[in-house]
């Protein structure tokens, strides 16, 4: 219906993309952004199986660093401190994403 109205109004393809298609996709784009950000903090298995943190610690992730400190070097207190950092930083980063949501999703009413 929106696309038909845009065609009747002689809108160009680029105008249809930026004025209709992308604004309607913003809820999905936002959901994928939040879930991907949370998932990026939790990468462990591919680092553990494929590279084991190497070469030269270049593929260390936060979860793998927690694992190495806790179960390889037996620094349980340090691993727990890093875990608390991750536990607090993920919700804070998600909250920042929700707060900045209005900047690029402001065309919807609350």
Of 48-62, 67-81, 91-105, minimum mean pLDDT range: 91-105
- Which residue range(s) make up the domain with 89? 42-104
Residues 20, 48: one domain?
no
The 10s digit of each residue's pLDDT in 51-60 is 998 898 999 9
Residues 25, 46: one domain?
no
Residues 13, 67: one domain?
no
CA distance 71 to 61: 15
The 10s digit of each residue's pLDDT in 12-44 is 999 999 999 988 898 898 899 999 999 999 999
- The answer on pLDDT for 108 being more than 60 is no
CA distance 107 to 110: 10
Instruction: Check residue 106 and give its pLDDT.
Output: 59
Residues 50, 11: one domain?
no
pLDDT confidence tier of residue 72, bands split at 50, 70 and 90: very high
84 Cβ neighbours under 8 A, 6+ residues apart: none
Residues 46, 93: one domain?
yes
Residue 37 covered by a domain: no
pTM, full prediction: 0.78
Closest CA to 64 of 89, 77, 82: 82
Residue 35 covered by a domain: no
Do the Cβ atoms of 79 and 69 come closer than 8 Å?
yes
Residues 56, 95: one domain?
yes
Residues 23, 51: one domain?
no
In 3-state terms the chain splits into helix, strand, coil percentages (rounded to 5) of: 75, 0, 25
The fraction of the chain above a pLDDT of 90, given in percent, is: 73
pLDDT confidence tier of residue 2, bands split at 50, 70 and 90: very high
Instruction: Check residue 85 and give its pLDDT.
Output: 96
Total domains in the fold of the chain: 2
> What is residue 84's three-state secondary structure?
helix
Residue 64 covered by a domain: yes
Do the Cβ atoms of 68 and 53 come closer than 8 Å?
yes
Q: Please say whether the dihedral angle defined by the alpha carbons of residues 7, 9, 10 and 15, taken in this order, is positive or negative.
A: negative
Residues 89, 63: one domain?
yes
Residues 57, 99: one domain?
yes
């Amino acid at each position: 219906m929106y696309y038909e109205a845009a065609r009747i109004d002689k809108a160009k393809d680029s105008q249809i993309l930026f004025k209709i298609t992308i604004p309607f996709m913003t809820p999905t784009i936002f959901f994928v952004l939040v879930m991907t950000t949370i998932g990026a903090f939790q990468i462990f298995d591919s680092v553990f199986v494929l590279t084991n943190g190497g070469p030269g610690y270049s593929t260390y992730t936060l979860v793998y660093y927690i694992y190495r400190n806790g179960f390889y070097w037996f620094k349980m207190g340090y691993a727990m401190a890093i875990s608390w950092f991750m536990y607090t930083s993920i919700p804070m980063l998600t909250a920042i994403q929700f707060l900045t949501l209005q900047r690029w999703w402001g065309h919807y009413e609350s």
